[in-house]
Amino acid sequence: MATLAMVAGVTYWAVSGDDEPFTVSGYQAMCKKPREYAEAAPHAGSGPRPVYIDGFWPLTDTDAKELNAAERRTWSPKEPGKVQLIACVDHLGQGDFLRSCDYDSLLGSSGEEPFTMHLYKGKYEVTVYEARSGKPLGSTEIQGDAIFGTEDRPCPGTAVKPDNPRDNAKEGRPRPAQLREILGPYVDGG
């Protein structure tokens, strides 16, 4: 009977997930409740210091093309034991007005009533933590203006007409280059 209980206990531990390896995405828990991570690399005196950015990585193909291999290891680390910094990006609300976009129909179909979508920057707070100790290093408020448009065609090509006209606003997110600029002093600093 005692042997059966011990076997059952070992089986539960093995399938409960406690023995799974820690991955880089595990650092997202810092943004819910700051804590220490023994798995993280110690905070080095000089950069570059690899950073996990909650909610914004892995890099898209377009963003990754802007970076060389060494920069990708810093800005999009794959090994949790190399991470020294954790950046939490929290949405605070609606920021400055960008533009209005008029649409004639819903996703190109005919017969729908025209509508206008108002685009705003999104307000975010970026908080940086030392990964191993959980110590906050600083925070900055930014306004993200990345919405699915381009400079030559600033409005998204399609939009879904909201059921409620009060919901005709869309907010931008921080661009990866914008996050790299904000986080640069922490990542590269001496």
14 in a structural domain: no
108 in a structural domain: yes
Answer yes or no: pTM beyond 0.75.
Answer: yes
Q: What is the pLDDT of residue 6?
A: 42
- Domain holding 117, by residue range, is 22-188
* Helices (H) then strands (E): counts for the chain: 4, 5
Contact 82, 37 (CB under 8 A): no
Q: What is the pLDDT of residue 106?
A: 53
37 in a structural domain: yes
* DSSP assignment letter at 26: G
Give one word for 104, left, alpha or beta, with left for phi > 0 and alpha for psi -120 to 50: alpha
Q: What single letter denotes the amino acid at residue 177? A: A
Q: What is the pLDDT of residue 52?
A: 93
Contact 171, 145 (CB under 8 A): no
180 in a structural domain: yes
CA distances from 63 to 43, 58, 111, 125, 155 (A): 26, 9, 38, 21, 20
Q: pLDDT digit string (tens) for 76-105?
A: 888 999 999 999 999 999 999 988 988 875
77 in a structural domain: yes
Strand partners, 101: 117
Which stretches in the chain have pLDDT values below 70? 1-21, 56-65, 105-112, 148-152, 190
121 in a structural domain: yes
Distance, in Å, from the CA atom of 132 to the CA atom of 84, rounded to the nearest integer, reads 7
Q: What is the pLDDT of residue 162?
A: 80
36 in a structural domain: yes
Helix (H, G, I), strand (E, B) or coil at 125: strand
Q: What is the pLDDT of residue 137?
A: 95
163 in a structural domain: yes
Domain count, the chain: 1
Q: What single letter denotes the amino acid at residue 144? A: G
